[in-house]
């Protein structure tokens, strides 16, 4: 896990300086070592920089940028290839030499053997760039779910030639001074609707996000980023009758793969179903004695769920570490938590606080249960949206003004008073939901939207040419196409994975955890596992929507079910208390 930066195109002193500047700006991502490589002082080529967080092959042999001794190809790589040992054995059998024990060299050797098709062999989270000095072409690749980020922009060299800059963070590119600090109206429109930026356009107009599951071949003489998608979220079809056995086997397999490391690996354990399932799986495949579980507790008893985590560890017999977050801890780390946010979002502070505490405890790699809700139907949307869809369909022949009027009256009755209903409340968005005529994507975006559609348009002028309901138009249309001929619950899963997970959770997790140089692994998002899960019939996959019944059956059958019979909460900071304490402390400093 690291940070990468670089340039493809006309390389000159100013461009080299910009790449080194980007590298310095992402130094927090890789404090163990750093490196720089370029094709020369001036000419068409590449400049590549790397910041290393040593996880696999801790020796200097794993240093990057790494040059392939056989071809001269150069790579900068951020992420982990969990099946690199298996690929290494394949390459050896094909006569391909390997000189290190790193997964980085395995990528280079796989590219040497299979070309672009090497991507099909890789299981993991990754963003990498391979430059071929012979033909002066660069291969850009990002992992299938978008776990690891890759941002890029186009600038001009002094002689007018195009140059593609890339980096692991938006702020690194912005820090070069080569890109104007101008907001993207379309990105701002998505942020104001969702609370986070959606799509391949970042909040900065001229900086773009390389799409998940995509690759691009870029010629240094005429650099242009034309992406090709090599993997898509599998659409459910051809259900298999014995699929649960295959999913169980794959769950254990991914748990084993995600433990591969040359440094200790811990497990985030909140006491909920997802993190408990991960903890149970890794102890099953590796033994409880070798696993440490980590839980964050609070002084505020209403928010403290550490007792549930302790109950889980009593069953699993892991070495458990409980870290208490005090009000003073929060006061100390809040400025850094806010500075970890690479693009505007309302949900990076939680991840930073957890990451910071476990990193201070000495942990370098943590496994999280991210993805369980999206894949197994754990969110309330899997329960509530189907009901709301039926209601909206039943009202499709009623004129819109009448629906909005009736919704307003119903809202006033529900909130217990007469007058306007705040547009940011769920009842304030009821009218928007009911006029959807049961369109599931419109219902989903209405449910997750911060404001009602009317109030959203009163706040500012959204870019209606490039966005629909808070989503980029192309992104919106792609989701609508995916939802055709797919069951309601499967469609909700596609939306949750494509929007909430990929566009918010994974992006926030990367920025916040890497701010403190902590690698967070997410086994549920292994693409082979996702493909296996997609083969399950809906009534099998989403047993009792909202409860993740199948995941409990496959991974938690040895634990008393009563441990999980409580309302779903997730990891929630007592922000009202903590922020109040922070403001008080800051005020005292200025008295």
Q: State how far the Cα of 499 lies from the Cα of 194, in Å rounded to an integer.
A: 10
Per residue in 326-377, pLDDT tens? Answer: 888 888 888 899 999 999 998 788 889 899 999 999 999 999 999 999 999 9
- Residue 152 φ/ψ region, left for φ over 0, alpha for ψ in the -120 to 50 degree band, beta for the rest: beta
| pLDDT at site 454 | 85
What tokens appear for 40 in the block? 């020369």
| pLDDT at site 185 | 95
What tokens appear for 42 in the block? 């001036």
Core vs surface per residue 140-164: b (16+ CB within 10 A) or e: bbbbbbbbbbbbbbbbebeeebbbb
Identify whether the C-beta of residue 82 lies closer than 8 Å to the C-beta of residue 90. Answer: no
Confidence of residue 409 (pLDDT cuts 50, 70, 90): confident
Domain chopping of the chain, boundaries = 2-229, 243-377+495-582, 381-489
Which one of 296-310, 452-466, 484-498, 562-576 scores highest in mean pLDDT? Answer: 484-498
Whether 112 has a pLDDT exceeding 80, the answer reads yes
Span 46-54, average pLDDT = 97
Q: State how far the Cα of 418 lies from the Cα of 408, in Å rounded to an integer.
A: 10
Span 241-254, average pLDDT = 94
Per residue in 517-536, pLDDT tens? Answer: 999 999 999 999 999 999 99
Span 37-57, average pLDDT = 94
| pLDDT at site 582 | 47
Per residue in 14-36, pLDDT tens? Answer: 999 999 999 999 999 999 999 99
- CATH code at 2-229: 3.60.20.10
| pLDDT at site 324 | 87
Cα 356 to Cα 33, 291, 349, 383, 547: the distances in Å are 20, 20, 10, 35, 30
Whether 268 has a pLDDT exceeding 50, the answer reads yes
Residue from 118, 109, 105, 133 nearest 8 by CA: 133
| pLDDT at site 434 | 87
Confidence of residue 238 (pLDDT cuts 50, 70, 90): confident
User: Which CATH code, of 3.40.50.300, 3.40.50.620, 2.50.20.10, 3.40.30.10, is assigned to 243-377+495-582?
Assistant: 3.40.50.620
- SS3 of residue 43 by DSSP: strand
Whether 419 has a pLDDT exceeding 80, the answer reads no
Whether 413 has a pLDDT exceeding 90, the answer reads no
Q: What angle do CA 217, 219, 224 make, to 5 degrees?
A: 75
Per residue in 281-309, pLDDT tens? Answer: 999 999 878 889 999 887 666 666 788 89
Per residue in 190-216, pLDDT tens? Answer: 999 999 999 999 999 999 999 999 999
Identify whether the C-beta of residue 7 lies closer than 8 Å to the C-beta of residue 42. Answer: no
Pairing of strands 319-325, 292-298: parallel
- SS3 of residue 516 by DSSP: coil
Q: What is the DSSP letter of 142?
A: E
- SS3 of residue 355 by DSSP: helix
Cα Rg of the chain, angstroms: 24
Whether 572 has a pLDDT exceeding 80, the answer reads no
H-helix or E-strand spanning residue 276: helix 273-286
**Of 482 and 413, which is predicted with more confidence?**
482
| pLDDT at site 157 | 93
Q: How far is CA 7 from the centre of its chain?
A: 24
| pLDDT at site 565 | 74
| 215 HSE (CA, 13 A, CB side) | 17
Q: What is the DSSP letter of 136?
A: T
| pLDDT at site 590 | 45
| pLDDT at site 347 | 77
């Amino acid at each position: 896990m690291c940070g990468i930066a670089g340039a493809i195109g006309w390389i000159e002193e100013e461009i080299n300086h910009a790449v080194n500047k980007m590298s310095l700006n992402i130094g927090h991502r890789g404090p163990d070592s750093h490196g720089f490589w370029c094709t020369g002082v001036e000419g068409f080529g590449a400049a590549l920089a790397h910041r290393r967080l040593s996880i696999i092959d801790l020796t200097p042999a794993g240093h990057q940028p790494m040059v392939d001794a056989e071809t001269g190809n150069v790579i900068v790589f951020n992420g982990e290839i969990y099946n690199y040992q298996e690929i290494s054995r394949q390459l050896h059998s094909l006569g391909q030499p390997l000189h290190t024990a790193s997964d980085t060299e395995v990528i280079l050797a796989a590219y040497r053997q299979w070309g672009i098709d090497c991507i099909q062999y890789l299981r993991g989270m990754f963003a990498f760039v391979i430059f071929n000095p012979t033909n002066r072409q660069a291969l850009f690749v990002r992992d299938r779910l978008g776990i690891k980020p890759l941002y890029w922009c186009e600038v001009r060299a002094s002689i007018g030639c195009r140059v593609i800059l890339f980096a692991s963070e938006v702020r690194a590119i912005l820090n070069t001074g080569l890109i104007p600090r101008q907001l993207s109206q379309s990105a701002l429109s998505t942020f104001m609707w969702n609370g986070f930026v959606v799509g391949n356009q970042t909040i900065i107009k001229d900086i773009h996000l390389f799409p998940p599951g995509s690759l691009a071949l870029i010629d240094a003489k005429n650099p242009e980023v034309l992406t090709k998608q090599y993997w898509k979220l599998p659409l459910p079809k051809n259900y298999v009758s014995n699929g649960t056995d295959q999913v169980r086997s794959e769950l254990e397999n991914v748990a084993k793969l995600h433990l591969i490391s040359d440094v200790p690996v811990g497990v985030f354990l909140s006491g909920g179903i997802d993190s408990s399932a991960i903890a149970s799986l890794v102890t099953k495949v590796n033994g409880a004695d070798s696993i440490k579980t980590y839980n964050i507790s609070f002084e505020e008893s209403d928010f403290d769920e550490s007792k549930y985590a302790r109950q889980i560890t009593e069953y699993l017999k892991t070495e458990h570490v409980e870290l208490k977050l005090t009000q003073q801890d929060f006061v100390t780390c809040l400025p850094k938590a806010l500075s970890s946010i690479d693009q505007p979002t309302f949900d990076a502070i939680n991840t930073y606080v957890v990451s910071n505490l476990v990193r201070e405890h000495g942990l370098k790699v943590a496994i999280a249960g991210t993805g369980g809700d999206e894949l197994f139907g754990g969110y309330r949307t899997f329960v509530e949206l189907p009901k709301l869809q039926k209601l909206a369909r039943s009202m499709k022949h009623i004129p819109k003004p009448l629906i909005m009027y009736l919704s307003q009256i119903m809202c006033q009755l529900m909130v217990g008073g007469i007058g306007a209903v705040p547009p940011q409340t769920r009842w304030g968005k009821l009218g928007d939901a009911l006029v959807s005529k049961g369109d599931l994507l419109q219902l989903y975006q209405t449910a997750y939207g911060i404001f009602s559609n009317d109030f959203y348009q009163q706040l500012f002028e959204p870019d209606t040419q490039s966005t629909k309901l808070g989503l980029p138009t192309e992104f919106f249309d792609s989701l609508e196409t995916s939802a055709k001929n797919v069951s309601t619950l499967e469609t909700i899963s596609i939306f949750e994975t494509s929007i909430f997970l990929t566009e918010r959770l994974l992006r926030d997790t990367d920025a916040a955890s890497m701010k403190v140089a902590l690698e967070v692994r997410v086994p549920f998002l292994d693409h082979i596992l996702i493909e296996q899960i997609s083969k399950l019939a809906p009534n099998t996959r989403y047993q009792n929507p909202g409860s993740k019944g199948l995941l409990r059956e496959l991974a938690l059958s040895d634990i008393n079910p009563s441990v999980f019979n409580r309302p779903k909460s997730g990891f929630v900071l007592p922000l009202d208390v903590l922020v109040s304490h922070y403001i008080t402390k800051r005020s005292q400093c200025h008295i």
